[in-house]
Structure 1
Amino acid sequence: MQHPAIELQDVACTFISKDAPGQRYTAVENVSLTVGAGEFVSVVGPTGCGKSTLLNVAAGLLTPSKGSVRIFGEPLTDINARAGYMFQTESLMPWRTARDNVLAGLQFRGVPEAEAQQQADDWLRRVGLGGFGDRYPHQMSGGMRKRASLAQTLVLDPDIILMDEPFSALDIQTRQLMENEVLELWQSKKKAVLFITHDLDEAIAMSDRVVVLSAGPASHPIGEFHIDIDRPRDVAEVKATPRFMELHAAIWSVMREEVLKGYQQQLLKAA
């Protein structure tokens, strides 16, 4: 039997408050979540519900206060070496060209220079940056920098791809192009993907399953939906289909009250 790529079992994460020492804050609690090998799973929920916390747990960057984490059946006790992480914020080193940014991970792994150069150039071509390897981040548009970050993640050929709202800062046209590029690359490689997003349309258009988290504190899954829309998909075209609209209505009916709770909590914090 094949083990899930990611398996979180009864996970909880509790932190000591920076603002009030001695006070504890439970971000997520009673979270059980699996991502199968080759499966694309999105997690959605209100702002501040702990979505990124779960991603950091799966990456091995955060040890849960309770529960267990298994990667392909093995307990995770350190950094998840089988995962690549694409962050929401800029991850490119500004003093390195696009090619040198993509090369960095390969160099760290000790890949021979000629082979590393070839792999970096190959991935730059795959993400549409074949002629831009010598450009520095400040010479690239936001979409180009995201493509370079994607190549930087995928060149290491991870078995698991962790993505934390990677396209949220892009304009809608560039965002849709990037979403389709990710889907095309995923379709060819079929890696396990855990994708964090606040955009329900994006989650439905891209995923095999969508998991909904409650508002925090002590966020936990309150719904799970199988996205039974045929692949391959175009994220713009799929949104016009009746099944997409049915799924959107069903998931939003579960999310709506939690989003309102989360919004009210943000207002209270700001007051």
Structure 2
Amino acid sequence: MLASAAEVLDATDNPAAALTLTGVACTFVSKDAPDQRYTAVQDVDLRVGAGEFVSVVGPTGCGKSTLLNVAAGLLAPSLGSVQVFGEPLVGLNRRAGYMFQTESLMPWRTALANVSAGLEFRGTPLKEAQALAQEWLGRVGLSGFGDRYPHQMSGGMRKRASLAQTLVLDPDIILMDEPFSALDIQTRQLMENEVLQLWQAKRKAVLFITHDLDEAIAMSDRVVVMSAGPASHPMGEFVIDIARPRDVAEIKSTPRFRELHAGIWDVLREEVLKGYQQQLQKVA
């Protein structure tokens, strides 16, 4: 039987909230037609505990990335509030690191220089920044590739460098927007396991956006299902009660994984179909 997040959290000691979205709505106004408005998300309550790994899944266009931008402070909500460790978020979320879906490496900088860039911008002395960057390149399996430019690295290597670029800053909250969607399945599983190993060591709060339900279940403590847009909102939250540490390939063959997948897909299926129909109407 599946347990909702609320049922499990009520029965345990609630971890401190690293990130709390309360009553969040985001409405966009057309520049060409000010009377035309589109509400991407509405009535969103979302909480990520300190040290908790939470994934958000939902149909295409349901506002998942919008929520991540709100959490990062890149987008102010039209309604509602955002708190970071109990404090109202004003401007950029400086306690968060953001790993984008698209590549964020600067093509004119080597892997080492890319990873050290954020530290340098913070004012960290160059030698210290480079030493920390070298350490993180080693942690993500790129010890011998610090002198490579992005065009000299494979897609998987660039993702590893981007991961090091985010984690070297030691953020308290890690925001990830479908970071592995462009990778082949083998490289993707390797990256997923690397992220889990690094997360297990540091236990930072993670808000992870993905289209892949398998990925969400394999990596998360909790999975939040969003409805189809417009005005997307959480449809359900599910605790992933699979023991850690995990290997993302191995656990997919376990009975509990299949049970969780079936239960969450029951909630998600209708919303995916709605989203698909909406995309077809836009094309037509």
Do they fold alike, i.e. is TM over 0.5?
Answer: yes
TM normalised by structure 1 equals 0.98
Question: What amino acid is aligned across from residue 37 of structure 2 in structure 1?
Answer: R
The match for 2:265 among 244, 252, 255 is 252
Deviation at 1:254, TM superposition (A): 0.1
3-state secondary structure, aligned to 1:258: helix
Question: What amino acid is aligned across from residue 186 of structure 1 in structure 2?
Answer: W
The match for 1:117 among 114, 121, 130 is 130
Match of 1:138 in 2: 151
Match of 2:217 in 1: 204
Question: What amino acid is aligned across from residue 243 of structure 1 in structure 2?
Answer: R
Deviation at 1:133, TM superposition (A): 0.3
3-state secondary structure, aligned to 1:156: coil
Alignment of 1:30-41 (within 5 A): 30-41=43-54
Alignment partners' CA distance in 2, 1:2 and 1:38: 8
Deviation at 1:171, TM superposition (A): 0.2
Q: Are residue 107 (structure 1) and residue 115 (structure 2) matched?
A: no
Q: Are residue 57 (structure 1) and residue 70 (structure 2) matched?
A: yes
- Judged with a 3 Å threshold, the aligned counterparts in structure 2 of structure 1 residues 253 and 18 are, in CA distance, closer, same or farther, namely farther
Alignment partners' CA distance in 1, 2:153 and 2:123: 28
Instruction: Determine what percentage of the aligned residue pairs are the same residue.
Output: 82
Question: What amino acid is aligned across from residue 223 of structure 1 in structure 2?
Answer: G
The match for 2:139 among 123, 126, 136 is 126
The match for 1:159 among 139, 156, 172 is 172
3-state secondary structure, aligned to 1:131: helix
Alignment of 1:72-87 (within 5 A): 72-87=85-100
Q: CA RMSD in A?
A: 1.0
Alignment partners' CA distance in 2, 1:12 and 1:231: 34
The match for 1:190 among 176, 179, 203 is 203
Question: What amino acid is aligned across from residue 85 of structure 2 in structure 1?
Answer: F
Alignment partners' CA distance in 1, 2:225 and 2:79: 21
Alignment partners' CA distance in 1, 2:258 and 2:243: 14
Alignment partners' CA distance in 2, 1:19 and 1:267: 24
3-state secondary structure, aligned to 1:111: coil
Deviation at 1:20, TM superposition (A): 4.3
Question: What amino acid is aligned across from residue 26 of structure 2 in structure 1?
Answer: C
Alignment partners' CA distance in 2, 1:90 and 1:151: 13
3-state secondary structure, aligned to 1:64: coil
Deviation at 1:17, TM superposition (A): 2.8
Deviation at 1:21, TM superposition (A): 3.9
Runs of at least 5 residues in structure 2 that lack an aligned partner in the other structure: 1-13
Match of 2:7 in 1: none
Question: What amino acid is aligned across from residue 224 of structure 1 in structure 2?
Answer: E
Alignment partners' CA distance in 1, 2:32 and 2:274: 22
Alignment partners' CA distance in 1, 2:176 and 2:126: 28
Match of 1:241 in 2: 254
Runs of at least 5 residues in structure 1 that lack an aligned partner in the other structure: none
Deviation at 1:230, TM superposition (A): 0.2
Match of 2:193 in 1: 180
Match of 2:11 in 1: none
Deviation at 1:3, TM superposition (A): 3.6
Q: Are residue 221 (structure 1) and residue 248 (structure 2) matched?
A: no
